[in-house]
Chain A
């Protein structure tokens, strides 16, 4: 039996304590048939990458509302690289000023989802990213 489920890590790095958004996304992805591992609040970049490694996720979604993305994302990207996991698609959601989006993408973030992004778009983006990675690695 070959059962391929998309496994997604939804993580809240940093110190902001608002995870309604992360929970809505986690629930939406669950309803789209994905297996969502939710880390809970106040994760360090190390904790996020460790969880992604142990859970062997297909996709990482970060929820950051505090403006700390400019510090946290580069650190997470560096740790992913250290662990040879830089091919795992990384998504960012929350409050990210438009001006920061190009820099985030340059860092390796696949897509940035701001307030009001529809669930369908997020699900479609995840499927695309997983397919692209699958084609690249031949899995």
Chain B
């Protein structure tokens, strides 16, 4: 194991911070060295639209988990500018209560061009925090609208945070982000309209009664909304929680439900199933990234630019361009095999 990996295991915060930078720059060896020490942390994703109060809720959740003596790692993702590549990472502003506690480690990440609500390296950074001994890892996604659902492939438990006044009940039955929730939280519950938002979400959950929905890619029955927890038929019942994160109101119930969800995952065998799904997804994504990198290394930029120009000028269709690039790659791969 490299020195840095060993220091991460020993609990050095400086080493952990430096290791995260390395991993963000694409250092795979560090993750590989630490991988055998991962798999212990409960990874909780917090997603929802911008301004719904995700960071403030994370602040409150972290304080509550610290009262249970759990070590809390936090990854807060904010978007990179599509124009300058820069980013303004402002989630720490809401987490000032957490400073000075050696049981908490907060890291801000920019998406660096990745869509889906997370950065390309977020899953790897989760592994570093896991190997460093954090019991709970809270992953806050970028302000997500409807379709940024990558977090469900990274987290064991996904919390979708809604704020009042974000649209009518039709929004709540659209496909996408609401489907990935293991817990739904209506934050700013002291604001006007909060009751309507809760009602719309409950209605959405009830509509699934007696039918099935896809949940984390699996077909699950959706029982009537009641208290969250393992239902009589052994499935997880998604419920709606109301919080006022700025005052901490309602947070205890959310923390309780997160614990219940972990217990449910463990006892039902779904934890292992999700780990399997996650590993499959991760391998696919890494393979995709590797193939793109390989392509860029194989085909000179000038040649790729010519194809781009041809497609833009309608001299060639995009499928034909991909076909050309792909056959170039396949040719090189064949040469590798023969060599």
Interface size class, chain B: 20 to 34
**In-complex Cβ contact of B108 among A26, A37, A50 (8 A):** A37
Q: A2-B25, A56-B17, A56-B21 are in contact. Are A34 and B86 (CB under 8 A)?
A: yes
Point out the residues of chain A lying under 8 angstroms from B84, CB to CB.
30-33
CA distance A32 to B84 in the complex (A): 6
Q: Does B87 contact A (CB under 8 A)?
A: yes
Which residue of B is nearest A7, CB measured? Answer: B21
Count residues of A near B (Cβ-Cβ below 8 Å).
33
Looking at the assembled complex, report how far the CB atom of A58 sits from the nearest CB atom of chain B, in whole angstroms.
Answer: 9
Which residue of A is nearest B292, CB measured? Answer: A1
Q: Does B176 contact A (CB under 8 A)?
A: no
Q: Is the CB of A55 within 8 A of B107?
A: yes
Main SS at interface, chain A: mixed
Point out the residues of chain A lying under 8 angstroms from B293, CB to CB.
1
Which residue of B is nearest A1, CB measured? Answer: B26
Q: Is the CB of B17 within 8 A of A55?
A: yes
Q: Does B282 contact A (CB under 8 A)?
A: no
Looking at the assembled complex, report how far the CB atom of A89 sits from the nearest CB atom of chain B, in whole angstroms.
Answer: 16
Q: Is the CB of B81 within 8 A of A31?
A: yes
Point out the residues of chain B lying under 8 angstroms from A59, CB to CB.
none
Interface positions of B from 64 to 111, Cβ below 8 Å from A: 80-81, 83-90, 92-93, 96, 99-100, 105-108, 110
**In-complex Cβ contact of A32 among B13, B86, B93, B107 (8 A):** B86
Give me the interface of B with A, judged by CB distance under 8 Å: 13-14, 17-18, 20-21, 24-26, 80-81, 83-90, 92-93, 96, 99-100, 105-108, 110, 112, 289, 293
